[in-house]
Amino acid sequence: MDNLDITPGVPQGENEVAIKKRNHKHSILFFVSMMVMAILASSLFGAFFGFVAGGFGQKIFTQISGRFPEIFKLDNGQSPTIKLDPIVSREKIVEEDSAVIDVVEKSTPAVVSIIISKDMPRIQSFSPFDFFNNPDFFSNSPDQNNQQDNSGGDSKKEKIGAGTGFIITADGMIVTNKHVVSDAAAEYTVLTNDGKEHVAKVLARDPINDIAVIKIDGADYPTLNFGDSDGLKIGQTAIAIGNSLGEFSNTVSKGIISGLGRNLTAGGRMGDSEKLTNIIQTDAAINPGNSGGPLLDIHGKVIGINVAIAQGAQNVGFAIPATQVRRITEQVKTTGKISMPYLGVRYIPVDKDLQKQINLQFNYGVMILRGQSVRDFAVIPGSPADKAGLVENDVILELNGTKIDEKNTLVDLLTKFNVGDEIILKVWHKGETKEVKLKLEERS
């Protein structure tokens, strides 16, 4: 038998070339198989660790979002996501604007313009806005609209001023400032929001506060309601509506309550002045012509009546608190007039200087003193003070337990009461303090 050279693992009958081809083919198949297995293993491990890591990360993220809710929010109470400040801010702005728009839409129909007219001498006059329409404004010859009118008579009815008011009863009762309707010789016309003109009658003028009530005929007018001005906070929203400059009716401006309890003396064009106490300061733009218009809160309630502005300043306006106005209007509704209670004393405030001069143990209150004229009695005969036994040099220290000082003047405290109310005064009399009870009567 012939000896045969047989290589292990190599089929008989194959030559060397065939063997090499077969080995090369097996190598390729092995490489491809290993690649497939590697990919499958990588996918499985990736999915597994991704699931574990995702659950762990979600758990940690949920814990963080719970501890910092101001940074993260939960969608449907489950999945925490980062808050988007621009969207939230935009939503907040839209919400605030919607509230203001809603107040304006509901309140404007009850706000009226008051036109003041009077018989005036026939003189050349022009509107301060004429130059926008008058090409000859800067020339030496005014246009025909500004020529003097000599067509008979020596006077004609002219508009001499304007103000604002707001309706408080469906039958046409309107609140405004006293200085808007102070001229007894003038005529007053109310222009309602629907463009109609109504002749107005002055029902009452407050002798102390800058408040007046007028009336127009009709029924079913839209009205505004008073809010609680005692609960105001500095920084809260304030909305003013008025007849700005007497030309632009129902002008709306928005701001905040800038200050409370302000005291100031306001002056008019005619040289008259009036002391305003415990009033509201706001930066909502108030202009001439806004006088008597409402200052509203974000709920559309009247919190004040716009009354004055600070000359030479920007957005420093003032309003009479609604609580003062409401008491006056209720009197007019029930009695048809404003009745002011009074004590019947002439006095000067007690301060530190007066305390030293007369050796008082108090630096507050008011001292009852006569005036320079013999008719300027310290205590008016027959007045409530006279009936209660008050005399000259007495010092009234408190009214119903409230100290009388710069923040709580005697006049301010009395305006909170009605005719017929009984009050208790704490009085310093000849070195001793005592309580005096008296009933307030109507100022004649």
Query: CB under 8 Å, gap of 24 or more: what pairs does 371-377 form?
Result: 371/346, 376/346, 377/346
Q: Is 210 a catalytic residue?
A: yes
Phi/psi class of residue 185: alpha, beta or left (left: φ > 0; alpha: ψ in -120 to 50)? alpha
User: Residue 74 phi/psi, 5° resolution?
Assistant: -105, 130
Give the contacts of 414 (CB within 8 A, at least 6 positions apart): 341, 342, 343, 399, 440
Strand partners, 296: 239, 302
Q: Is 299 a catalytic residue?
A: no
Give the contacts of 192 (CB within 8 A, at least 6 positions apart): 112, 198, 221
Give the contacts of 30 (CB within 8 A, at least 6 positions apart): none
State whether residue 348 is helix, strand or coil.
strand
Sign of dihedral through CA atoms 268, 270, 247, 129? negative
Closest listed residue to residue 208, CA positions, set 98, 87, 338: 338
Active-site residue identified among 113, 179, 383, 386: 179
Output the DSSP codes for 232-299: --TT-EEEEEEEETTTEEEEEEEEEEEEEEEEEEEE-TTS-EEEEEEEEEE-S---TT-TT-EEE-TT
Q: Which amino acid is at 407?
A: K
Q: Is 179 a catalytic residue?
A: yes
Active-site residue identified among 107, 113, 206, 210: 210
Active-site residue identified among 107, 249, 253, 291: 291
Catalytic residues: 179, 210, 291
